[in-house]
Structure 1
Amino acid sequence: MSIGSVIGRLKAVLFTGVMLFSVFAGADAWGQAAAKEESGEGIDAVLLLDSSGSMLLTDPLRLRDEGAKLFVEFLKSDDRLGVVEFSDGAKVVRPLGPISSDDRANVAQLISQIKTVGKYTDLLAPLEVAESLFAGSSRQGARKILIMLSDGKMEPDPKSGNADDLTNRLLNTEIPNLKAKEIQVYTLSFSDLADGELLSQIAAGTGGVHRFAPSADKIHSEFAELFVAAKKPQMLPISSKGFRIDADVQEATFYINRQGEPGITVISPGGVRVTSESKSDGIKWFKGSEFDVITIEAPEAGQWEIVGLPKNEGFATLLTSLKLVTTWPSAINAGNPTRLEVRLYEAKKPIILPQMTGVVTYAFDITPTDKVSEPIMRAQLSDDGGDQDLVAKDGVYSALVEIEDPGEYRLRVLADGPTFSRYQQQPFRVKPRLVTLESFKERAGYLRAFAPKSAEKPPQPEPEFEDEEEEFFRLRLSSEVIGSKKQQIKLVATGPAEDRYVLPLTRVEELVYVASAEALPRDDKYELKGSFEAEGKRRDRLFGESKVLEFERLPRKGRKAVEVVVVEKKQEQSVPLSPVWGMLLWLLVISGANVGLCLIGLSVLSKAQENIGDVAVVDLEPIDSIMAGLMVLEKKLQVVDIDLEDPIFTATTAVPLLSRKKAPEAKADAETAVAAGAAAGEVVSDDASSEDTLQEEAKDEAQDEAVEATEVEAETEEAETEEEGDAAESGLEEDSVAEESSDDIEEEAEPE
């Protein structure tokens, strides 16, 4: 494998690893954001207290003051508090600021000093003043909360404007402003004189919760409910058997509704008895006329007992790093399945322990609060990746909740383990369905009055059965859809064969659409359902469906066949992937593409290596003259003794191996070489008897060389007559011949 391919694979692996890390790091960041939002830490709260004269009639004992003081007692050191009173106008009683243990008594005194002498009630003024408090003293990371208490309705001073104008400003201007600034309003109305509908709209428009107290003696318990909804603290349920504190709790605050009992006693796991008269370090006891609030710092771990508790009317809020986080909206639409999700956090990190499945029990119940009722729903939450849970064993326990009846409800969630318990409760509202569907009868020509008029088409004749009754379907939209964009409204009929038919709708008035039963393709039984989908004001998705309406169209004399414009065949419903699975699938695709590119590159390189053997190589033949010169050199290297007086080392007799001289010059050199060879023979020969023989042999060889030189001269003259383009080639041939002649002469000249 080449280095390039290895580097490519390493890049692919590193890319995939970085992407996976970013996914899981992002998931952890999402979890931390959820924990921060739902943990109930750090709120900036402003109490808006009605001081109009009508409060003297509805709350003569000023029990509302105790409810407000109860809210103050629940606040912690990381919270801030402001107080505003309102009637004709609004006035700041306490600016928004920190709340300490020493401040609580001062705040209680300020609340008690608020006078109820106003003649009018302006519900817009306190919201505007509170908004200015936040603008002048904002704090990053703290949730902004308004708690409004009133027993009246919009009845402003005529000098300020009429009730309708101020109400329109409140709903259409102030509420959107508060929502845009993420300021939630929690409202509490008591007595039948209060405009509960308007206060409920204020709360719903800002993401808050509305509560109703039928009498003044219920104000404190409703204030407790509002605190729980706004603060979302970690809690423990309190029963006659007491409650269990685990070692992770740094502080516990108990709210106990005495319901007329003279007093209660709290017994620690070590047997220490504490009452409202006890004075002990680390224990604070606030006693109201109907309730007690007890705060214990660093409580002892173990089972605590409460003596004198009439029934399970209380809870404890905890300051702890082990938190139960609940994801649930403050309002849902009736008939829309909504997912409830809960999980445990240690500090700001989610706890994911698959081995704890089955050890810790997660359960919930839902109870109506606008009427006397038992819980309408009780169930356990699951983390098995089934129909109600998205991912198995990820630490998120889920359940799908669907409620049909609009109204006010309370959700309670409990996580119970072997050594700890965590509990949360949250009030919420169930709004009417976005779409309702009903059938009705009307004369046959009912929809003709709403058909669009066109000057191009002539008037149509009246139907034959104009005065007979026909059946129609009325689809009504909720006022919540007003202002939404990209609206899609459908009425779908499903036949026995499960084919779906989209019926044409005619708008008869704002938010009301009608379709005729005559638009159905044939007489048969059908199930009809209306649906609405749009983009909300905040670009969120609005979606709702009506209940299923069962309908049978009976045969009727004179009915003509109707062509249905849109027919939808039954299709398999695809299950949408969660965002996490979608991201993982995308990463798998990218990784597969990288691996595929690496494999393709390796295949190309392998084929290239195989084809190297097929490349044609030029076969170069050796040059004879060069080979002859090399042989001469090899022979000379074999000579051990070299005589420097040898004539071949002189300038006049030395013949180069390669010469570009012409034939005449080569002939002369050959004759000189013959003479030199004879002289050399005389020098090197010491045997006188062989001298004559050597001379004769030298003469013969010289004659042979002369003949060869003559032949070379003739060949050279013929070569010179060739074309100029072959001059280079002729030169090479001449050089080769000359070299051969010189080599032969040198060989003969050497001493034998």
Structure 2
Amino acid sequence: MLPVLSVQAQTPPELHVLIDVSGSMKQTDPTNLRRPALRLLGDLLPPSARIGIWFFGDRVTSVLSTQPASDLTKTRVHNTAGKIRSNEPFTDIPDALTAAAASWDTGTDRNMLLLSDGMVDISKDKAVNEQAQQRLLDKIIPRLQSAHIRVHTIALSKDADSKLLREIADRTGGIFVAADSAEALQRAFLKIFEAAAPRDGLPLKDNKFIVDKSVKELTILAFRDKADTPNSLKTPDGTLVTEQTSRSLPNWRWDASGGRDLITIDQPQPGEWQIIGAKDPDNRALIITDLKLNVTSIPTRVYPGEQINSTLQLTNHDVPVTQPDLTQVIKAVVQERRGDEVIQSIPLNDRGADPDIVGGDGKFDYQLNLIDPAGVYSLVATAESPTFQRTWRQNFAMAPQAPISFKSRTVTEPVSAAATGPAVANAPSGSTALETPAHVTPAHVDGHGQKPARVPAKNQPVRVLEITQDPTVVMPERSVVDGQWTCEASPTGSAVDSHGSAEGHVVPSPAGPRIEKVHWVLDKTTMTVPVPTPVNRNCQFSGTLTAELTTERSMRLQLLPVSVPALVSTAPKSEHPDAHQVHETARLPRKGPNWLLIGAVNIGLALVIIIGLLLWRRSTKITINQLLAEAKTA
């Protein structure tokens, strides 16, 4: 069963905002675009949220105590934004985080937003600054983790310590956004808002959206092509409303600044509305309504290969909608997006068909498999029926790599032949590549429970898999790997056999690939586990990691397959036509010189030489006698 992570969906968000007011902001943000960005954030927060604001430079100042995001609070946020300045000499990030983390309401989802254009700078002494930064990394971040506080960071300007701000976000489970200009602050704040406090909205198609009768409040965010090119709104009755004409309309509030228009309308007219302006992917139509789309939130920081079960469900006055005549006509889909690009799209249903688990329960179930490159992504859920439309969006960050890595190695160590075999390959937690724990029955024990005679130890090449966890992400002794080894049926080339000797022969193979199940409890940051024997087979490991993270959440990760090549001998191959026969001959036991055989050979050679000499002499005598006889005759 995969972990279902729904903390954020069940608890109201609480957001503590930390704004850098150091003197360097005069150059980074000369027109104080931090002000409209903060107003935007305050106006977008749902009523269930809480917000508090701190300014920091050489000191930390609480300028708005944490309170519910009511209409009165949003007015206070506007007033607080007007106080943003750039006049303090230093940038004390560690103290700012410490102060803002001191107090939280009970039962809220804890988030911080940290905006800075600099680095840890509390003194003219470089050594003092380095010590303060190290204290931040070693002391403050672990406290934030244990308090379940996610810190989302925005680096404003190229001079910001992006590496530090990214690490703060990474280690606390937040997202990091780089805003290369003050104008980009609006979109940066929007990304953070949609990560920390996602809320109901209406789907936009060509800047058009449909408002139903249940909508109590409508908030429209429309970005401009150019800062001086205003947007306007077309209402369902055909009226064209601009910022200027909206001032005479009851229940309308229009904030035009920072290259965007933010319009809030109480009791909006039902029907089709249209934004007359740029078709920007960051345009939004957010609503307050009793007919809500509840989606199981995902962590704001995930890892490549992570698998997450989630659910979409409609509620009316906080009561789940389960009537089949309504749920069966809803067209629901969930998408993973990066900007305009759709990474994956999953159609949903409540009929019990895949991916739904139980039909007719009002829940639209699905599973996310996240395997994307590093970056900020969006989970967008949409539900449409003949009478209403809803959408819900949450941003999350994909980490650059998984918090676990695998590396195959070959070691040569003395091993008794009686201690080798498949049982070693399934060694439990804490076992090294060459250990067979007492409670594991070795595979080489025969059917009668009798162990063969122990063979003296010798050096044997052994393949091992080295597993390394990131201790800043994964909690020690809280992670488990389940999977299997799959080793090929046929050996590879002239290979080292299961006892480690490179003798140039082919070890007979079984009928099919060898499969071994494994279960490893990773109780060390780095540990090794053995690869199955014999070592002349290519093997591949596949499995899943289930772990508890330092951010106090569980994770299930589909691991990428790990291939381990066979150990192939470098000795030259035999040219004998029957390699097996040559191998068997080479294995015969060696003895001392056979003197009897040597003597017999020597005697035989002597006899051959003597007989040859006698024959030569006889032949020579006959020839001379013939010559003398012929001479006398002549």
Same fold (TM over 0.5): yes
2:471 counterpart of 1:479: yes
Of 409, 420, 424 in structure 1, the residue corresponding to residue 392 of structure 2 is 424
- C-alpha distance after superposition, 1:278-299 (max 9, x if no partner): 1211111111130001011101
1:164-179 superposed matches below 5 A: 164-178=130-144
Of 145, 150, 155 in structure 2, the residue corresponding to residue 189 of structure 1 is 155
Q: Give the aligned residue type for 1:395.
A: G
2:261 counterpart of 1:292: yes
Alignment match, 1:414 = 382
Cα distance in 2, alignment partners of residues 179 and 512 from structure 1: 23
SS of structure 1 residue aligned to 2:371: coil
Q: Shift of the alpha carbon at 1:347? A: 1.5
Alignment match, 1:708 = none
Cα distance in 1, alignment partners of residues 330 and 546 from structure 2: 39
2:138 counterpart of 1:123: no
Cα distance in 2, alignment partners of residues 95 and 170 from structure 1: 24
Of 505, 508, 515 in structure 2, the residue corresponding to residue 500 of structure 1 is 515
2:206 counterpart of 1:214: no
- C-alpha distance after superposition, 1:217-275 (max 9, x if no partner): 11101212222322221111334351100000011010111131611221211222211
Distance verdict in 2 for CA 1:105–1:533, change over 3 Å: closer
Cα distance in 1, alignment partners of residues 309 and 48 from structure 2: 31
SS of structure 2 residue aligned to 1:479: coil
SS of structure 1 residue aligned to 2:370: coil
User: Which structure has more helix as a fraction of its residues?
Assistant: 1
- C-alpha distance after superposition, 1:306-337 (max 9, x if no partner): 22234444111101001111112222221122
1:49-60 superposed matches below 5 A: 49-60=19-30
Alignment match, 1:356 = 326
SS of structure 2 residue aligned to 1:376: strand
Contact 2:295 2:310 in 1 (8 A): yes
Distance verdict in 2 for CA 1:111–1:557, change over 3 Å: closer
Contact 1:150 1:190 in 2 (8 A): yes
2:113 counterpart of 1:147: yes
2:562 counterpart of 1:549: yes
Alignment match, 1:305 = 274
Cα distance in 1, alignment partners of residues 141 and 276 from structure 2: 46
Cα distance in 2, alignment partners of residues 356 and 446 from structure 1: 70
Q: Shift of the alpha carbon at 1:185? A: 3.1
2:299 counterpart of 1:329: yes
Of 44, 57, 72 in structure 2, the residue corresponding to residue 74 of structure 1 is 44
2:9 counterpart of 1:38: yes
Distance verdict in 2 for CA 1:443–1:192, change over 3 Å: farther
Distance verdict in 2 for CA 1:464–1:428, change over 3 Å: closer
Of 496, 501, 520 in structure 1, the residue corresponding to residue 533 of structure 2 is 520
Tell me, which stretches of 5 or more residues in structure 2 are unaligned? Answer: 416-431, 436-455, 489-511, 573-634
2:368 counterpart of 1:397: no
SS of structure 1 residue aligned to 2:275: strand
Alignment match, 2:199 = 233
Cα distance in 2, alignment partners of residues 224 and 104 from structure 1: 16
Cα distance in 1, alignment partners of residues 414 and 262 from structure 2: 65
Cα distance in 2, alignment partners of residues 535 and 550 from structure 1: 26
Contact 1:256 1:315 in 2 (8 A): yes
Contact 2:472 2:550 in 1 (8 A): no
Cα distance in 2, alignment partners of residues 100 and 491 from structure 1: 51
Aligned length: 504
Contact 2:172 2:551 in 1 (8 A): no
Q: Give the aligned residue type for 2:343.
A: I
Q: Shift of the alpha carbon at 1:152? A: 2.2
Q: TM-score, normalised by structure 1?
A: 0.59
Cα distance in 1, alignment partners of residues 377 and 194 from structure 2: 14
Contact 2:463 2:535 in 1 (8 A): no
The percent of aligned pairs where both chains have the same amino acid is 24
- C-alpha distance after superposition, 1:600-645 (max 9, x if no partner): xxxxxxxxxxxxxxxxxxxxxxxxxxxxxxxxxxxxxxxxxxxxxx
Contact 1:257 1:290 in 2 (8 A): yes
2:208 counterpart of 1:242: yes
Distance verdict in 2 for CA 1:160–1:65, change over 3 Å: farther
- C-alpha distance after superposition, 1:639-678 (max 9, x if no partner): xxxxxxxxxxxxxxxxxxxxxxxxxxxxxxxxxxxxxxxx
Q: Give the aligned residue type for 2:367.
A: L
Cα distance in 2, alignment partners of residues 349 and 226 from structure 1: 29
- C-alpha distance after superposition, 1:158-199 (max 9, x if no partner): 689834543454345444544555544332223333333433
1:313-392 superposed matches below 5 A: 313-327=282-296, 328-368=298-338, 374-386=341-353, 388-392=355-359
Tell me, which stretches of 5 or more residues in structure 1 are unaligned? Answer: 1-30, 454-459, 560-752
Alignment match, 2:608 = none
Alignment match, 1:577 = none
Identify which of structures 1 and 2 has the higher relative contact order when contacts are C-alpha pairs closer than 8 Å and 6+ apart.
2
Q: Give the aligned residue type for 1:404.
A: I
Alignment match, 1:199 = 165
Alignment match, 2:614 = none
- Higher deviation after alignment, 92-101 or 325-334: 92-101
1:59-98 superposed matches below 5 A: 59-75=29-45, 80-97=50-67
User: Which structure has more strand as a fraction of its residues?
Assistant: 2
Q: Give the aligned residue type for 1:308.
A: G
Q: TM-score, normalised by structure 2?
A: 0.69
Cα distance in 1, alignment partners of residues 72 and 558 from structure 2: 54
Cα distance in 1, alignment partners of residues 136 and 8 from structure 2: 27
Contact 1:40 1:231 in 2 (8 A): no
Q: Shift of the alpha carbon at 1:422? A: 0.8
SS of structure 2 residue aligned to 1:484: strand
Alignment match, 2:18 = 48
Q: Shift of the alpha carbon at 1:472? A: 5.7
Contact 2:15 2:196 in 1 (8 A): no
Contact 2:482 2:543 in 1 (8 A): yes
SS of structure 2 residue aligned to 1:269: coil
The structure with more radius of gyration: 1
Distance verdict in 2 for CA 1:158–1:427, change over 3 Å: same
